Amino acid sequence: MSSREAEFRHVTASEGIAYNTLRQLIRWDPSMALGDPLIDSEHEKIIEMAEQVCVLARDHDKSPDLVSAFSNFGELLFKHFDDEEKKLTKLHADGLSKHIAQHQAMRSEFEFIRQRLMDDGIGWACEEQSLVVVNFMIGVTVGHVLESDAHQTLSQ
């Protein structure tokens, strides 16, 4: 592969549709609120932090900053999962075990990605760290917060 082809692949991967789609899809809007102040504030912060992490993921010179920001994102995400699970358990929410299983899967995936970031990507099938991070952020924000969480009843 020529250096021009390699550069094209890098630009396409890190600045292409996944990154631009994320920025368009996950801007917080008050209409996304579910009616629980704690959960809504956590969702808003998750979305804000996801965008920040994705910006850092695009720049290989920012790897130490990315590891730190991704770790901070994980702390918030895990706290949110705990808060949400307590709330849903108290409300005897439908589909609680499935929802908790989704949280556990995201916790595991987060830890896998964080470890790879700390190891400078060793062990990834994909060379492009930004794609892995952006894909995770899309899954958490669009797939879980805006889809799965939106179908949960947080009040009685």
Read off the pLDDT of residues 123-155 as tens digits, 9 standing for 90 and up. Answer: 555 556 777 888 888 888 878 887 788 777 665
For the cut 80, the answer to whether the pLDDT of residue 28 exceeds it is yes
* pLDDT at residue 40 in the model: 93
Mutual angle of helices 129-138 and 96-118, in 10-degree steps: 160
* pLDDT at residue 57 in the model: 78
Is residue 33 classed as helix, strand or coil in its secondary structure? coil
Which string of DSSP letters, residue by residue, matches 44-94? HHHHHHHHHHHHHHT-GGGHHHHHHHHHHHHHHHHHHHHHHHHHHHHTT-T
Look up residue 17 and give its two tokens: 């549709």
Closest by Cα among 79, 28, 69 to 49:
69
pTM assigned to the model: 0.80
Maximum distance among all alpha carbons in the chain? 61
Burial 77-105 (b: 16+ CB within 10 A, else e): beebbeebeebbeeeebeeeeebeebbee
Q: Which residues contact 76 (CB under 8 A, 6 or more apart)?
A: 42, 45, 46, 49
CATH 1.10.390 correct for 3-26+38-151? no
> Where along the chain do its domains lie?
3-26+38-151
